[in-house]
Amino acid sequence: MSKHQSDTVRHSDPPQKMGFSGWIILGLSTWFGTGFAPVAPGTAGTLAAIPLVILCGYLGGWYSLFVLLVVTLTGIWASHQSRALLGEEDPGPVVIDEVAGYGLTLFLLPVNWLTIGAGFLLFRFFDILKPWPVNRAERLKGGVGIVMDDLVAGLYAHLILRIGLWMFAIDHVR
């Protein structure tokens, strides 16, 4: 008789414990492994989202909306699944929520080094500080709660960045 194995994978467990679907789930939820950064995984995940955000900026509105929706829905699903895999309610390595939140931060804004940098700082500020209602969104259950607080932080960052660009008449705001 074979020994019963738990479906929970800890960071120290060998990768052989996961099946193919576990690899897909962790690959997506950790944004291709960036969530396993030894220091500041959320910041690493946000940095790793920059190429996607730049691509979306050049694709235009409808394509950007589609990508944002796909990342958000995938994030909710993968985050929810990762909770069971990693045995935590809000696993630290899960950073696809940061990708969705940063994507919302720069949604329909001009893509340049100013917006990428300022958006990054604003998003990380609101994601770490978690002012109301970001902290309320975090209390939602499952993958929705994991992703929703980052979307609200991204919305705050987006609005402040958009207002700042408008006030200083920087790079025609779309």
| pLDDT tens-digit readout, 37-70 | 999 999 999 999 999 999 999 998 899 999 999 9
Residue 6 placed within a domain: no
Is the model's pLDDT at 15 over the cut of 60? no
The CA-CA-CA angle for residues 125, 149, 18, to 5°, reads 110
HSE-CB of 123 using CA atoms within 13 angstroms: 31
- The closest of 68, 59, 25, 43 to 124, measured between CA atoms, is 43
- Domain range for 126 is 57-174
Q: What is the pLDDT of residues 100-157, one digit of tens each?
A: 999 999 999 999 999 999 999 999 999 999 889 887 887 888 899 999 999 999 999 9
Check residues 102 and 14 and name the one with the higher pLDDT.
Answer: 102
Domain count, the chain: 1
Residue 92 placed within a domain: yes
Residue 28 placed within a domain: no
Residue 72 placed within a domain: yes
Residue 74 placed within a domain: yes
Residue 97 placed within a domain: yes
Is the model's pLDDT at 171 over the cut of 70? no
Residue 51 placed within a domain: no
Q: Give the whole-angstrom CA distance, residue 41 versus residue 48.
A: 10
Residue 52 placed within a domain: no
- Confidence category of residue 14, pLDDT binned at 50, 70, 90: very low
